[in-house]
């Protein structure tokens, strides 16, 4: 069994996942709009450019997302964080800095009693992240 985070955006899913592809050095495996589906005729044309499904593979992990339609907005992404566990201090610093660009750092990336590095941030899209590095390989 794998557990995959699935994020819901209010229209900026494409921008977020294009950003995550670079920041996490992953590979977008799918990105489909509402207008590209067989149900396109049942979706207002002004919503055709919204993302109905996307998935980003990072190593053997997957993160997925979509946009919601304007008639069903989500109220931010509070109450949940995506935890990234990396194998080196250098990778922790790279990922943390990339995700923090134009976002908000809630806890700077630093040594803790349990980890070589740990930090928390909210990226420019409102997604909360925790970056954890327990050992430096």
Show me where the domains of the chain are located.
Answer: 6-67, 81-133
Under 8 Å between Cβ of 131 and 24: no
- Helices within 41-105 (DSSP H only): 89-100
Residue among 130, 127, 12, 13 nearest 76 (CA): 127
pLDDT, position 79: 86
pLDDT, position 39: 87
CATH code matching the domain that covers 6-67, chosen among 3.90.79.10, 2.130.10.10, 3.10.180.10, 3.30.70.260:
3.10.180.10
Under 8 Å between Cβ of 17 and 31: yes
pLDDT, position 106: 98
pLDDT, position 136: 63
10-residue mean pLDDT series, the chain (137 residues): 94 98 97 95 93 97 94 87 96 98 98 96 97 83
d(CA 94, CA 88): 10
Is the sign of the CA dihedral 47, 53, 57, 62 positive or negative? positive
Angle at 133 between CA 129 and CA 137, to 5 degrees: 145
Count helices and strands (H / E) in the chain: 2, 8
Evaluate whether the domain defined by 81-133 bears CATH number 3.40.50.300. Answer: no
d(CA 58, CA 56): 6
């Amino acid at each position: 069994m794998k557990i995959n985070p699935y994020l819901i955006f209010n229209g900026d899913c494409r921008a977020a996942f294009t950003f995550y592809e670079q920041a996490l050095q992953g590979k977008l495996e799918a990105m489909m709009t509402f207008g590209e589906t067989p149900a396109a005729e049942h979706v207002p044309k002004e919503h055709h450019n919204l993302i109905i499904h996307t998935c980003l593979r990072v190593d053997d992990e997957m993160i997925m997302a979509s946009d919601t339609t304007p008639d069903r907005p989500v109220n931010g992404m509070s109450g949940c964080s995506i935890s990234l566990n990396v194998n080196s201090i250098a990778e922790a610093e790279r990922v943390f800095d990339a995700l923090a660009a134009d976002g908000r750092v809630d806890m700077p990336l630093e040594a803790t009693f349990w980890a070589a590095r740990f930090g928390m941030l909210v990226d420019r899209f409102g997604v909360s992240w925790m970056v954890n590095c327990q050992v430096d390989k």
